[in-house]
Structure 1
């Protein structure tokens, strides 16, 4: 688990809008081996974070600074990360991310 904790701190989970057209949005995810974010299609995830992303823009999820890595990983294994499409605009997709509190969810440009 220590290697997985390290990969989450360094690389994290990356969620990218691969393509976006008015009626279709394709999402790619890249995560450390052993972690698979769940994409649930159109969703209204209660208590989630909404971020607008254009094609090729990423969202990065890592362990929050100050969090205990083992606790963050336990929460991740228990709850997982949910990704939903909240809305679709002409040039962007509004994604909803629901993740445990010990994880940090940021737009790639802020990492």
Structure 2
């Protein structure tokens, strides 16, 4: 329950995107450059934090293992790079695409 509340509260920090909207990779990719890039960093942090909560409290198997010293900008860069390199997947949900991007960049050993 805590993870759901935290995830919902993180999504409210995205400017001009309501919680009722489905956020796909196309929407995130449009925001990768320019003044809205900070919203991608915020979204990427939310994806990483939500998965971390699921692993810690729901005892799920880690899907990716982000090192502690990784910055929000790095999370954004990894997510945007994945979206740039995989345009065929951008219609999918952004959170899932972020998780796949993080797994490619930081697989668990």
Question: When you count helix as a share of all residues, which structure comes out higher?
Answer: 2
In which range does the TM-score fall when normalised by the shorter chain? 0.3 to 0.5
TM value normalised by structure 1: 0.35
TM value normalised by structure 2: 0.35
